[in-house]
Amino acid sequence: MEKQQLEELLKDMSLQEKVDQMLQITGRFYQMDINSVLTGPALQMGLIESDINMAGSILGTYGAKELKQIQKTYMEQHPHHIPMLFMMDIIHGMKTIFPMPLAMGASFEPELVRRCAQASAKEAAYSGLHVTFSPMVDLVRDARWGRVMESTGEDPYLNSRMAEAQVRGFQGESMSEEGRVCACVKHFAGYGAAVAGREYSAAELSERTLRQYYFPAYKAGIDAGAGMVMTAFNTIDNIPATANRWLMRDILRGEMGFGGVLISDFSAILETVVHGYAEDKKDAAKKAVEAGVDIDMMTGCYSENLAELVEQGIVPESLVDECVWRILDLKNKLGLFDNPYKDADEAKAEEVILCREHRALAREAAGKSCVLLKNENILPLNKEKKIAFIGPYTYCKKIISNWSVAGESKDCVSVKEAADEIFDSIHTSYHAGSQMTGRKVRFEGFSAFGKAAEPDDEEWGEEKERKELEEAVRAAKEAEIVVLSVGESYLHSGEACSRAFLDIPEVQMNLFRRIAEVNPNIVVVLFNGRPLDIREISAKSKALLVAWMPGTEGGHGIVDVLTGKVNPSGKLPMSFPYCVGQCPVFYNELSTGRPYREGDTNRYFSKYLDIPNKPLYPFGYGLSYSEFEISPVKLNKNSFCEGDVITASVTVKNTGEFPGTEVIQLYVQDVAASVARPVKELKGFEKVTLRESEEAVVSFRIDETMLSFIRADGTVGCEPGLFRIWVGNSSETSNMAEFWLTK
C-alpha cells in the first residue's frame, strides 16, 4: 500500500478503531467461548466485545491454520478490513531450538547467530507469525538475575554485534520477504541492571553508565533495522521505563532515530500504577501515550481510557494518530495489506520445522557454544576406555530453557541418545544417579510444568533414590572415566527466576561428591542458564565443559565436543563468579583509587577479606584441545592523530595436535581521560582456524571511534593521550602494547 493510501486509511478511521489498533491481547481470547471471555479475562481487563473484535494484534498463538482463520474472521468484521498482527516470543528458536542466547554469545560468531535467527524466522513465518519478541539485548552483569540466559552477555561490544546479527537474521533485507519476521529489540532500557538481581526491580544507573554501556546494543539493533522495540519493566531515574518520556521520546525516538513500533511489555502500562507513578488506569494510559508507547500489551488502559482522554481534550488525538500510523506502517512493511496471511502455510511449516538443515544448524551451534573451562589431558574422550555416563542430564531431554515457548523436549537429543550412536555398549554404561532437584523440591508458579524437572517426569521414592545412587557409584568405581552431566534445572533460569544462591542442587552435589570419592577422572558437563558457583566442581574434576541449555540438538553437539569431532572454541560471554558474593562481577570495571593487585598485603585496597576479587573464570575465557601461541603485539606505529588509524597485529600459531579455532580478542584502555575509564574494553574479535603447526597473522585497525567515549562535558569523542591495547584469548591476557593519540 502506498503512503498516501495509508494516510487516507488513518484519516477515515474512527477514534475507537484507532485506539483498538493499540490493544494487544493473547490468542486465548479467540480460542475460548466469547461468553467465557467476557465474564473472565476480558472483565478483569475492562474490555468489551468490540475491543476484542477490533484488537490490532495478538500474542502467544501460532499455527498456520488457526491464525489464517483468526485473520479471516477479524478482517471480515473490521470496518476497514485492516489485517491483524500475530506476535510471539521466539527467543532462540521456534520448534527447532538453538542454544539459549547467552550460549550463542559464547560462540563469538555473529554470522552463526544470524543463520540461527534466519532459520527461526522461517519456521515462525510459515507458522503464521509476523513478529518475534527478540532479540533481548539487555547488558547483564549479575548472574542472580534469571534472564541473563536471554542476553548475549556482559560486554557492550559483543552484545551490539550479536544484536545486529539477530535482527538481520530475522528480517533479512526486508521483513516482507518470504520466511522473514519483524524483530523486536528489548527491553528498553537497562532491564538487565535490576538491583540485587531481583526480577522487575529498579535499575539504579547514572545517565553516563546507561549511555556508555547499556544503550549501545539497543542502538545496534535499531541501526540494523529492527521494526519494533519493547519497553522494560524497571524504573530509570525513579520513573517507570514504559512511561519515561525522556527515555522513549528524547533517547529512543530522538537520538537513536527509531521510527518503528514501541510496544509495552506484558501489563507494563498498568504496572505504572503499582510503581506509584500513575494514579489509576486512566492516568497510566495518558502517561504511556505521552511517552510514545504505541501498543498496550494485555491491559485495558488504552482501550478503556484513550478515547475519553482525547474527547476530554486531555490527550491530543495527534498522539493517537502518531501511534496508529506506526502500527499501520509496520503492517504495510510486512506486506499484510497485500497478503494478510503473509507466509502462513501448513505444508511449508511441516516441511521446514525440525528439518534436517535446521537440526544440523542447531547441532553446529550447540558445539560452537560449548565452553571448555578445564581439561587435564582427559578430553577428547578415548572411546576404547570404559566410560560411565552419569547424572540426571544424561537422560534428560529438557535442555531447551523455559523460554522456548513452542519448543518441545520430545524433539531433543539427550546425551545418552547421542552417545549411544558412537560408543560401544561393551565399554559404556548410563546412570541417572540422582534426580534433578530432589524429591521435596517443587517450583511455585510453574503451573504448566507442575513439579520439578526430573529425568523421567516421575516421582522418586526413597528406595529408588538410594538404588540409583548406589548403581551410579558402583559404575563410577568400575569405569576409567566418568562423564558427569549435572546442572541447574531448566526452570531455575529465565523470567522471574532470580536466585540468591548460584549453586547446583544439593542432590546433584551429593552425587558428584560420592563419585569423586571413588574415581578422580571426572569430566563434568554443566547444564546451566547462567553462570554458577562451581568452585568445588572445578577443583575436583579433571575436565569441565559448560554446555548451557543447548537446545534441540544439544546431545549431539555435546558428544561432538567430548569426542573431538568438534574442537571447542567457545568463550565465556559472562564472567563466572568465584561465589555469589561477588555479584555483579564483570571484566570492564573501573580501577578505583586503590585497586588491589595480587600479592598486596596492605589492608587498605579495594578487595574482599574472604574471597578473591577476580571471578573464578573471566569473560572471554575458554580452552581448546589445541594449544595456541600468540606473539607479542606489533603496532605499525607508536602514535597517530585523529582521523588516522593504527594497526595492531599478532601472529597466532597452532602448536597443538589438533586443528582448532581460537577467538583473538582486542581490548583497549584509555589511561587518563576527563572521566575515569574502564581497566579494559573489548573493541574487536576475530575467529581464526588453524591446522596443526599452521600460523596466521591477525590484525585489528584501531581508529578514533574505537577510542571514543562520553567525555566530562557530555560530548562523544576521544581525547589525546596514552592508550594501552591487549590482544589475546581472554579478558585477562597480558599481551599488551602502548600508543599515543595526538591532536
pLDDT in tens, 8-30: 999 999 999 999 999 999 998 88
Instruction: Classify 116 as helix, strand or coil.
Output: helix
Residue 701 resides in a domain:
yes
Q: What's the pLDDT tens digit per position in 641-690?
A: 988 999 999 999 999 999 999 999 999 999 999 999 999 999 999 999 99
Q: How far is CA 739 from the centre of its chain?
A: 36
- Helices 317-333 and 281-291, packing angle to 10 deg: 60
Residue 114 resides in a domain:
no
- Low-confidence winner among 32-41, 368-377, 710-719 (lowest mean pLDDT): 32-41
Q: Are residues 680 and 717 in the same domain?
A: yes
Residue 713's alpha-carbon distances to 322, 705, 707, 716, 717, in angstroms, are 34, 18, 16, 9, 11
Active site residue 343: no
What integer pLDDT is reported at residue 454 of this predicted model? 42
Task: Evaluate whether 492 touches 529 at the Cβ level (below 8 Å).
Answer: yes
Residue 570 resides in a domain:
yes
The pLDDT of 718-742, averaged and rounded, is 97
Q: Please report where in the chains the cell 569430566 appears, as a residue.
A: 523
Q: Are residues 412 and 521 in the same domain?
A: yes
Question: Can you count the helices (H) and strands (E) in the chain?
Answer: 24, 27
37 pLDDT more than 90: no
Instruction: Classify 224 as helix, strand or coil.
Output: coil
Terminal alpha carbon distance of the chain: 52
What integer pLDDT is reported at residue 460 of this predicted model? 85
Which residue among the candidates 89, 138, 142, 265 is catalytic per the annotation?
Answer: 265
Residue 168 resides in a domain:
no
Which parts of 480-625 are beta strand (E)? 481-487, 522-527, 543-546
Q: What's the pLDDT tens digit per position in 358-405?
A: 999 999 999 999 999 999 999 999 999 999 999 999 999 999 998 999
Q: Are residues 314 and 439 in the same domain?
A: no
Q: Are residues 192 and 248 in the same domain?
A: yes
Q: What Rg, from alpha-carbon coordinates, does the chain have?
A: 27
Task: Evaluate whether 277 touches 309 at the Cβ level (below 8 Å).
Answer: no
pTM over 0.85: yes
Among 487, 398, 504, 500, smallest CA distance to 450 is for 398
Cα 82 from Cα 76, distance rounded (Å): 9
Phi-psi region of 385 (alpha: psi -120 to 50; beta: other; left: phi over 0): beta
Q: What's the pLDDT tens digit per position in 407-448?
A: 999 999 999 999 999 999 999 999 999 999 987 777 777 654
The cell numbers describing 650, all together, are 599478532
Q: Please report where in the chains the cell 553437539 appears, as a residue.
A: 557
Phi-psi region of 599 (alpha: psi -120 to 50; beta: other; left: phi over 0): left
What integer pLDDT is reported at residue 619 of this predicted model? 98
Q: Are residues 215 and 254 in the same domain?
A: yes
What integer pLDDT is reported at residue 455 of this predicted model? 41
Q: How many other CB atoms sit within 10 Å of the CB of residue 686? A: 16
| 465, 467, 473, 474 alpha-carbon torsion, rounded to 10° | -170
What's the CATH code of the domain at 419? Answer: 3.40.50.1700
Cα 383 from Cα 78, distance rounded (Å): 65
Q: Using a pLDDT cut of 90, give the percent of the chain over it.
A: 92
Instruction: Classify 57 as helix, strand or coil.
Output: strand
Task: Evaluate whether 291 touches 324 at the Cβ level (below 8 Å).
Answer: no
Q: Are residues 459 and 332 in the same domain?
A: no
Task: Evaluate whether 231 touches 187 at the Cβ level (below 8 Å).
Answer: yes
- AA letter at 737: A
Q: Are residues 406 and 537 in the same domain?
A: yes
Q: How many other CB atoms sit within 10 Å of the CB of residue 380? A: 19
216 pLDDT more than 80: yes
Cα 680 from Cα 620, distance rounded (Å): 12
The cell numbers describing 449, all together, are 510444568
38 pLDDT more than 50: yes
Residue 154 resides in a domain:
no
290 pLDDT more than 70: yes
The cell numbers describing 554, all together, are 544439544
Cα 362 from Cα 55, distance rounded (Å): 36
What integer pLDDT is reported at residue 458 of this predicted model? 60
Cα 180 from Cα 354, distance rounded (Å): 17
Q: Are residues 395 and 526 in the same domain?
A: yes
Q: Using a pLDDT cut of 70, give the percent of the chain over it.
A: 98
Cα 169 from Cα 178, distance rounded (Å): 13
What's the CATH code of the domain at 677? Answer: 2.60.40.10
Q: Are residues 190 and 65 in the same domain?
A: yes
Tally the domains of the chain. 3
Q: What's the pLDDT tens digit per position in 325-344?
A: 999 999 999 999 999 999 99
CB-based contacts of 442, cutoff 8 Å, min separation 6: 451, 452
Task: Evaluate whether 444 touches 425 at the Cβ level (below 8 Å).
Answer: no
Range of the domain at 657: 628-742
Task: Evaluate whether 101 touches 151 at the Cβ level (below 8 Å).
Answer: yes
Residue 272's alpha-carbon distances to 136, 196, 267, 288, 581, in angstroms, are 22, 21, 9, 9, 32
The cell numbers describing 279, all together, are 494514579
Cα 619 from Cα 188, distance rounded (Å): 24
What's the CATH code of the domain at 204? Answer: 3.20.20.300
Residue 71 resides in a domain:
yes
Q: Are residues 376 and 283 in the same domain?
A: no
Q: How far is CA 160 from the centre of its chain?
A: 12
Which of 278, 312, 342 is where one domain is finished? Answer: 342
Q: Are residues 239 and 387 in the same domain?
A: no
Cα 294 from Cα 288, distance rounded (Å): 9
Confidence of residue 457 (pLDDT cuts 50, 70, 90): very low
Apex 104 CA angle, 103 and 105, nearest 5: 85
Q: Which one-letter DSSP state was computed for residue 413?
A: P
565 pLDDT more than 60: yes
What integer pLDDT is reported at residue 601 of this predicted model? 84
DSSP character string of 241-308: GGG-HIIIIIIIIIIS---SEEE--TTHHHHHHHHTSSSSHHHHHHHHHHHT--BEES-SHHHHHHHH
Residue 699 resides in a domain:
yes
Residue 525 resides in a domain:
yes
Q: Are residues 545 and 672 in the same domain?
A: no
Which secondary structure element, helix H or strand E, spans residue 682, and what is its range? strand 681-690
Which secondary structure element, helix H or strand E, spans residue 687, and what is its range? strand 681-690
- AA letter at 133: F
